[in-house]
Chain A
C-alpha cells in the first residue's frame, strides 16, 4: 500500500465516526444554540438576542427548578454510590466467577423494560391502595393505608433503581483490576477494616467512582418520565420545563435556551466534582 492508499483507508475508517459525531452531536447542538439566541418579536418574526437567557434568570420558577433538579440529582448520585459500592465490591471481589454473570444480569433487568413500564411498576407497588401499603396493613405495622407515591423520596428511589447499573459497571471494572494482595497488604501492615476501605480500596476505586458518578448524575439530571410519573404535586424536574417550553407553549427558543443551560450547568457540576476529587476526565471516564 502506498501513502495515498493508506490515507484513503484511514479516511474510510474514520468517516463513520466522524459523521456520527458531526451529524448527531455537533450539528444538533449548534442548531439548539442558534435557536436559543433567537427572540420572538412578533408573529413569525425573530431577532438575535439573549432574551431567553435573561428570562431564565429573571423568573425564579425556572432557576429554582434547575437548582432543585441539580440537588436531587446529586443526592441520587450519592445514594446510588452508597448502595452500589458494596454490590460492586461483592461482584468483583467475593462472588465466584459464575455468580458474577448472574449478578450483573440482575442489575441489568431494570433496563429491559421501558421507563414508562418501570414507573408504572413502582406506582402499582407504592400507591395508597398498592401492594406495599396493603402488606404493611396486613402484618399490622400500620393501621390505615399509607401513600408512598407522589413525593420526592419516591422519585429518588425510582431514579436510583434505574441508574444503579451505570454505577456498578465502572466500579466492578476498576475493582476487578485491583490485585487482592493490595487489600491483604493493607491488613498485614496493621490496617483495620475501616482503614483498608478508606485508605486503599476507595482511593484505588476512585476513577471508577468518579466515572460512575458522572454518568449517573448526567442520566439523572436528564431523566424525564420517572420524576414526572412518580413525583408529587410540587415535584418539578428541569427536563419537564424544557418539554413544556417546546411542546405545550410552542416556545422553541426558550426551550433551546433551557437545554443549553442544563448542559452548561451539569458540565460545571461535573467539573467541580472532578476538581474536588482530584481526578481528570481522562483518568476516569476514558479509563473504564
Chain B
C-alpha cells in the first residue's frame, strides 16, 4: 500500500515537557485523516513538525516514502491551512494564490492558467481581483485551500480552520471540505478538538491525549468500539459511572455503583475482569429506552438481559432532532436520555414517573 505520510516513532520535548510522545501512524493516499484531541494534547506540535516549523527530538517523518526531517519548511511538499487562514492581507486573491507558484518560478501564463483553474474548482471563478477583506468567511476558507492546492501538495495539513466560523457556516463547511477533498483527491490531515468535525469528514481519526495516540480507527469504530475510557468519553456523549465488580458470568459483568445502582455491562476491550475490581461504565444517551405507564411495570417483572429502573423526569432539553431528557434514579443519580421526536413522548412532563432500560451489550465497561 502507498502511504502519502508516514510518521515513525516521533517525539518532541520542550525543556522538561514532552509534547509528543513516540507517535507513529501511516496515512494512505487520498484519504481524509483527522487528529482529534483536547487543547494541549500535542496535536498542533505534531502538525508543526510535519510542516517543518518544529524539529522532532527523535523519530522520522516520511512523505511518499522519503524522509523530510532534514528539509526546511519551504522545501517540503506539505502545505498547510492555518487556524486563522493566514491569507496575506496586502495581496488580492489572485496574488495570494499565485504566491506559491511564483516562489517556484512558474511563468506568467502558467500562473494565470493555474490560478484560473483552481478558482474554478473551488467555485469562485470571478473573485481573482477581489481583496481579501471583501470575502466572506467561507470564501476565505476556500481561497486558503486553493492557495495550497494550486501547488499540488502531497499532503494538505489543516489546523482547526473552522474554529473561527459561526455554527451554521461551520456545519456547511464540514460538508464542503469533504467534497473538496474528493475533488482534489489529495491526502488531508485535519486537526481539531471538535469530535463532530472529525467524525463527519474523516476516513480515519486518531484520538490524541497527553502526547500519545489513544486509538486510531474509522469514525464508526471509535464511536461504537472505544478502546479506552478517554475515547469513550471524548467521542460522542456518554452517561458514566464508576463501580465495583460483584459478579462475572458469560461475559456479563455485574457491578454496583457508588450510589448503590446495580448495572450489567460488557467489557469494551474484551479483557477479563474479576470480582472486586474497580470499573468505569459508559452508556450512550441514544442506547437508553423510555417506558411509559404499564410498560414500565411489565419490564420490572421481566428483567432478562436489560438494565432497567424506575426514574423521575427532571427536565426536558428540547433541541429538535437532538432533544434530550434528564431523569433521576431513586438513588438520585442523573441520567441523560435521547428523546426521539416522533410524537409519542409529547405528554411527558417534569416530575412524571417512568421507566428506562438499555441492553447489556450497549453498556461498556473499562478497568478503572
**A185 to B88 CA separation, bound complex (whole angstroms):** 9
Instruction: Pull 26 A–B residue pairs with CB atoms less than 8 Å apart, ordered by A.
Output: A179-B86, A181-B82, A181-B84, A182-B88, A184-B73, A184-B86, A185-B80, A185-B82, A185-B86, A186-B88, A187-B72, A188-B51, A188-B73, A189-B79, A189-B100, A190-B103, A190-B104, A190-B151, A191-B74, A191-B103, A192-B103, A195-B103, A199-B99, A203-B88, A203-B90, A203-B91
Output the least CB separation between A60 and chain B (Å). Answer: 44
Query: When A and B form their complex, what is the total count of cross-chain residue pairs whose Cβ atoms lie within 8 Å?
Result: 62
- Contact partner of B99 (CB less than 8 A), chosen from A179, A181, A184, A191, is A191
Rounded to whole angstroms, the CA-CA distance of A68 and B51 in the bound complex is 52
Contact of A182 among B74, B79, B86 (CB under 8 A): B86
Taking the complex as formed, is A146 at the interface, i.e. its CB lies under 8 A from any CB of chain B? Answer: no
Asked if A206 lies at the interface with its beta carbon under 8 angstroms from chain B, I say yes
Partner of B100, one of A190, A200, A203, A204: A190
Mask of A184-214 contacts with B, CB within 8 angstroms, 1/0: 1111111110010001100110100000000
Tell me the complex Cα distance, A195–B72, Å: 14
* CB-nearest residue of chain B to A180: B86
Number of interface residues of B (CB under 8 A): 25
Chain B 76-117 interface 0/1 with A at a Cβ cutoff of 8 Å (1 = within): 001110111010111100000001100110000000000000
List B contacts of A190 (CB < 8 A): 74-75, 100, 103-104, 151
Which residues in A have their C-beta under 8 angstroms from that of B148? 189
Interfacial chain A residues near B78, Cβ < 8 Å? 188
B158 to chain A, nearest CB (A): 12
- B99→A188 contact, CB < 8 A: no
Determine if A181 and B151 form an interchain contact, defined as CB atoms under 8 angstroms apart. Answer: no
Contacts A188-B52, A189-B147, A204-B90 aside, 20 further interface pairs with beta carbons under 8 A come to A179-B86, A181-B84, A181-B86, A184-B53, A184-B82, A184-B86, A185-B88, A186-B99, A187-B52, A187-B73, A187-B74, A188-B51, A188-B74, A188-B79, A189-B100, A189-B103, A190-B74, A191-B100, A200-B88, A203-B90
Measured CB to CB, the closest approach of chain B to A207, in angstroms, equals: 10
Cα–Cα, bound, A185→B86 (Å): 7
Minimum distance in angstroms from A178 CB to a CB of chain B: 9
CA distance A187 to B99 in the complex (A): 11
A contact residues, total (Cβ < 8 Å): 18
Q: Judge whether B73 and A181 touch: CB under 8 Å.
A: no
Q: How many Å from the CB of A40 to the closest CB on chain B?
A: 54
Complex Cα spacing A203 to B90, Å: 7
Which B residues from 141 to 182 make CB contacts under 8 A with A? 147-148, 151
A186 to B96: give the CA distance in the assembly, Å. Answer: 10
Which B39-74 residues sit within 8 Å CB-CB of chain A?
A: 51-53, 72-74
Collect the chain B residues with CB atoms within 8 Å of residue A199's CB.
Answer: 99
For chain B, residues 180 to 224, give those with C-beta under 8 angstroms from any C-beta of chain A: none
**Of A179, A200, A206, the contact of B84 (CB 8 Å cutoff):** A179
Q: Which 5 A-B pairs have the closest CB atoms?
A: A189-B100, A190-B103, A185-B86, A181-B86, A181-B82
Known A182-B88, A184-B53; judge A189-B82 contact (CB<8 A).
Answer: no
- How far apart are the CA atoms of A204 and B90 in the complex, in Å? 6
B346 CB, min distance to chain A CBs, angstroms: 50
Q: Which residues of B sit under 8 angstroms from A182, Cβ to Cβ?
A: 86, 88
Closest chain-A Cβ to B360's Cβ sits at a distance in Å of 50
Quote the shortest CB–CB distance from B152 to chain A (angstroms). Answer: 12
Q: How far is the CA of A191 from the CA of B84 in the complex (A)?
A: 19
Neighbouring B residues of A186 by C-beta, 8 Å: 88, 99
Q: Which of A181, A189, A204 has the most CB of B within 10 A?
A: A189
Q: Which residues of B contact A200 (CB under 8 A)?
A: 88
A86 to B139, CA, bound (A): 35
Complex: chain A residue closest to B97, CB-CB: A189
Given the complex, which residues of A lie within 8 Å of B89, measured CB to CB? 204
Residue of A nearest to B150 (CB): A189
